Structure 1
Amino acid sequence: MPQPPASADRRDAALRAAVEQGLVGPDAPVLGLLDVAGVKEAARALKEAFAGTGAEVQHTFAVKAASLVPVLALLNEEGIGAEVASPGELALARAAGVPAERIVFDSPAKTVGELRDALAAGVAVNADNPQELARIDALVAANPSASPVGLRVNPQVGSGSIGAMSTATATSKFGVALRDEGAEEWVVGAYRARPWMTRLHTHTGSQGVALELMAEGVRVAYELAEKINAQVGRQQIDTLDIGGGLPVNFASDEITPGFDAYARILRETVPGLFDGRYTLVTEFGRSLLAKQGFIAAHVEYTKTSGGRRIAVTHAGAQVATRTVFVPESWPLRVGAYDAEGRPRTSAPLVQDVAGPCCFAGDLVARGRELPELAPGDLVALYDTGAYYFSTHFHYNSLPRPAVYGYVRAENGTEAGKVTFAPIRSAQSLDEVLAESGAGHPGSLLGLVD
């Protein structure tokens, strides 16, 4: 029988240890766990994939995929900067110690104040549209900035299998649509008029987008940069921000596609990208963290309805929002464990795995064959290290769960020991109340008709 990958072995060990240490169970019914060694392995795999290509590369992490300061600090230690899309994400990156020169600010709706702050701090800014670029013009004229500035373009190369994750469609809300009439000429003129604008940015999408389509989007941006540089008579654009978006395999523990596969396709599709003339910026998110994390949840009850076995757990739409509402695009593997955190090995039974939210569709798995679950057991939602930990859905005022990082000793006298470190504390009911306006309980009662 084939051996499970080391990451799966570490995962099972972490769940057993979490039960032993009381981090998950009847009194702590849902928990996020992140494999620190796995995060480091992923970061190093990314860097190795682009090493030796001939290009200088600045890797950044899409903060929206895990807006957790300790995670950003860990990635920063591995040389991975931060791509931020809001003032909140920028604040998180700063709190994690990410230096300004390794931060990129992308958003289609930046306010004047947000732009002013980023430009004053030396953070790279990618403008989304002509109106935003005009705002940057005024800000730079008033207060010259050391921030690298670029423009996001939409190569309009098409959609992947998940439309919501495809950002280079004909009508995408992101960037300047290059195939629209007169758009490319406007872009060339915008650079000619702004010799201080030295970056060009594109991003084709993420989950459901084929590597070939991603590479095609980069090719369009590269050829545009070449045209701009030729027309201005110098290499004004010196940095190409090629985004991220590598899809993740949610069907098994296998990591496919890998960063090396994407780098290889880029070399084949856009060889000039790696001749040393351009610095590259990447913005990977999900592909760095998804497989490094999982959610563990206590099984509270089991029941049968219409002949279907249902396990009611504490992990539902509040932590697995996309999976619950769009299961065909975001299916998750589910592991069955006993109350001590050991994998259940009994014969599989078709079951639904339900969450705690008060609506009928709150199911993280439908008609899934799993060893029969019983009250007190645990389920694990695999591949949830990205988005699921920090993109909480506040349905039914359910508190955000705790998230811990873990490492397992591999050598020495403590080999096999799992050590945990807090990433985020569980949200208390007092914090839920504060978030829900409990500090202003009578504020509406005194209003006059």
Structure 2
Amino acid sequence: MTQTISFTGARPAPKFAPVVRRAVADGLLGETQPVVGFIDTEGVRGSVEALREAFAGAPQVLHTFAAKACSLVPVLRLLASYGMGCEVASPGELRLAMDAGFAPSMIVLDSPAKTREEIRLALALGIAVNADSLDELRRIDALRWSTSPSVLGLRVNPQLGAGAIGAMSTATATSKFGVPLRDPGARAAVVRAFAERPWLTRLHAHVGSQGCPLELLAAGVAETYRLAEEINARVGERRITSLDIGGGLPVNFADDEVRPTHGDYVTALRSAVPGLFDGRYALVTEFGRSLLAKNGFIGALVEYTKDAGGRRIALTHAGAQTATRTVLMPGSWPLRVGAFGPDGLPKGGPTLVQDVAGPCCFAGDVVAHGQELPELREGDFVVLYDTGAYYFSAPWAYNSLPRPAVYGFRTTDGGDGDDGCDGDDGVRFAPVRDAQTLESIAAENGLVHADALVGLGGVNSASSRGTGSSALV
């Protein structure tokens, strides 16, 4: 199943227009940096505050940010400064979370394929761990020690079915995540697992994300709550003390409105699980996309335009290497596009149905199909809205295209301060990630081992290189 949103005929408002203009004027976006990401730091703060306000009725709640949604260290550190925790799902994400300054007690480790070394490290640091299976629990049995302060939990799959996007639905009958509660004998096995392990005190479930309606998300939490009540009753004590209800709030990509809100989600939770907020269970959330998506955008230079089959095509530097999901699943991950002139100001005038394509060498590298926009020309800019989550930190190295620079911005009253940011006209920038260099691309593609295979083949490595040079000026 796919979720299809059409933007034909819809003209998105020039959101972030002052930021685009300032970025072009300052040279952050242009000929030398033809594709750049931008993050609205005040917008992120507002999203975090809205999340906290929505859950204000919960006596104990830890809000963690799903690092996969934007794993850039400055972004993670910003969220840590706002009091957020961090949910990680790999050794790399754990390293980034630690570098960003999250206290171990504020980190939750989720993953369906944790190694013994990952578990050992988490236990040594005091990081919370959600086991993904009964087999993983048995592995933890052999690795844990009584001095570890880690909170340990078990992820279950309520098997409620899929939302509109199958790939984003994690509570299907055959999902790879969690213990499937409706499989024969599985629920009883989960109850036994808690009864046999006094150190197992958390229950975790995550139904899905984009494309999942609030009712489905709330139903997953309700099933988890009922299971916790059943386990505590069967054990005869309050064994489960906290519930990790995951994240997954979908994002509206059709316009600028934030919907559904975290408040809408809490309303659905109160209806489905009336006892969730009474304080008997501490809560953990793992939101990602809903906190960042609308607080970021991608700006890209229009390098060329052409007409083909009666359709105008604008060729830009924003394609599948950064908007991978949109390109490969356009019906499920559509993006709104804004048109800006060479001066960085929003374009006006008559509209034209156009495709906005990227630089990758395959025909499907199109980020927007048939959108009505003011006519794009060489030297103009396009803006891809709602790309603050996943689009910056989940790049695809197709064609060895470099990862773009990312900047944070804040709108102010103008002027320069002493916070390391530059800008005027009410917009201030700070670097988040430098653009990837060609040297870095060569290094990560094995440059240091350039002669290794030639040596295995018995060929003289010096003569095999010929007269070519790797130097690029």
Please report the TM-score for the alignment, with normalisation by the length of structure 2: 0.91
Distance 1:284 1:308, change over 3 A: same
Distance 1:8 1:78, change over 3 A: farther
Where 1:186 maps in the other structure, the secondary structure is helix
1:88 aligns with 2:97: no
- 1:252 aligns with 255
CA contact (8 A) 1:151 1:200 kept: yes
Displacement of 1:54: 3.8
What's the CA shift string for 1:7-38, capped at 9, x where partnerless? 97771111111001100111110000000100
Where 2:290 maps in the other structure, the secondary structure is helix
CA contact (8 A) 2:348 2:374 kept: yes
CA contact (8 A) 1:215 1:265 kept: yes
| 1:165 alignment partner, one of 168, 184, 189 | 168
Where 1:42 maps in the other structure, the secondary structure is helix
Give the aligned residue type for 1:311: A
- 1:110 aligns with 114
Q: How far apart in 2 are the matches of 1:8 and 1:97?
A: 37
- 1:432 aligns with 441
1:197 aligns with 2:200: yes
Give the aligned residue type for 2:37: G
1:237 aligns with 2:230: no
1:69 aligns with 2:78: no
Displacement of 1:67: 0.7
Identify unmatched segments of 5+ residues in structure 1: 1-6
1:284 aligns with 2:293: no
Displacement of 1:411: 7.8
| 2:346 alignment partner, one of 324, 343, 348 | 343
309-318 vs 403-412, which moves further: 403-412
CA contact (8 A) 2:414 2:426 kept: no
CA RMSD after TM alignment: 1.5
What is the 5 A alignment of 1:326-405? Answer: 326-405=329-408
1:124 aligns with 2:128: yes
1:306 aligns with 2:315: no
- 1:99 aligns with 103
What's the CA shift string for 1:209-237, capped at 9, x where partnerless? 00000000000000000011111111110
- 1:42 aligns with 47
What's the CA shift string for 1:36-80, capped at 9, x where partnerless? 1000000000000000x2431100000000010111111111111
Displacement of 1:439: 1.2
Give the aligned residue type for 2:299: A
| 2:29 alignment partner, one of 24, 31, 35 | 24
Q: How far apart in 1 are the matches of 2:119 and 2:16?
A: 42
CA contact (8 A) 2:414 2:427 kept: no
CA contact (8 A) 1:297 1:314 kept: yes
Q: How far apart in 1 are the matches of 2:49 and 2:81?
A: 11
What is the 5 A alignment of 1:258-277? Answer: 258-277=261-280
Displacement of 1:448: 4.4
| 1:211 alignment partner, one of 206, 211, 214 | 214
Displacement of 1:118: 0.5
Q: How far apart in 1 are the matches of 2:238 and 2:352?
A: 63
What's the CA shift string for 1:247-289, capped at 9, x where partnerless? 0000000000000000111011101111110100000000000
Give the aligned residue type for 1:168: A
CA contact (8 A) 1:11 1:35 kept: no
Q: How far apart in 1 are the matches of 2:147 and 2:214?
A: 39
Q: How far apart in 1 are the matches of 2:58 and 2:301?
A: 50
Q: How far apart in 1 are the matches of 2:220 and 2:159?
A: 8
- 1:4 aligns with none
Please report the TM-score for the alignment, with normalisation by the length of structure 1: 0.96
Displacement of 1:412: 9.1
Q: How far apart in 2 are the matches of 1:417 and 1:124?
A: 42
Where 2:174 maps in the other structure, the secondary structure is coil
CA contact (8 A) 2:415 2:426 kept: no
CA contact (8 A) 1:55 1:273 kept: no
Where 1:327 maps in the other structure, the secondary structure is coil
Distance 1:410 1:50, change over 3 A: farther
What's the CA shift string for 1:144-201, capped at 9, x where partnerless? 4110000000000111000000000010000000000000100000000001111000
Q: How far apart in 2 are the matches of 1:180 and 1:298?
A: 52
Q: How far apart in 1 are the matches of 2:376 and 2:414?
A: 35
Give the aligned residue type for 2:326: T
432-441 vs 172-181, which moves further: 432-441
Distance 1:8 1:309, change over 3 A: closer
Displacement of 1:410: 4.2
| 1:140 alignment partner, one of 140, 144, 166 | 144
1:294 aligns with 2:297: yes
- 1:417 aligns with 426
Identify unmatched segments of 5+ residues in structure 2: 1-11, 418-423, 459-473
Where 1:445 maps in the other structure, the secondary structure is helix
- 2:465 aligns with none
Q: How far apart in 1 are the matches of 2:110 and 2:329?
A: 26
Displacement of 1:346: 1.2
Percent of aligned pairs with the same residue?
A: 62
Q: How far apart in 2 are the matches of 1:274 and 1:263?
A: 10
- 2:16 aligns with 11
CA contact (8 A) 2:38 2:408 kept: yes
Q: How far apart in 2 are the matches of 1:295 and 1:158?
A: 34
Displacement of 1:413: 10
| 1:153 alignment partner, one of 151, 156, 161 | 156
Where 1:268 maps in the other structure, the secondary structure is helix
Displacement of 1:329: 0.2
Q: How far apart in 2 are the matches of 1:411 and 1:439?
A: 47
Give the aligned residue type for 1:426: A
Where 1:25 maps in the other structure, the secondary structure is coil
Q: How far apart in 1 are the matches of 2:416 and 2:446?
A: 51
Q: How far apart in 1 are the matches of 2:76 and 2:240?
A: 29
Give 4+ residue runs of structure 1 displaced > 4 Å after superposition: 7-10, 410-416
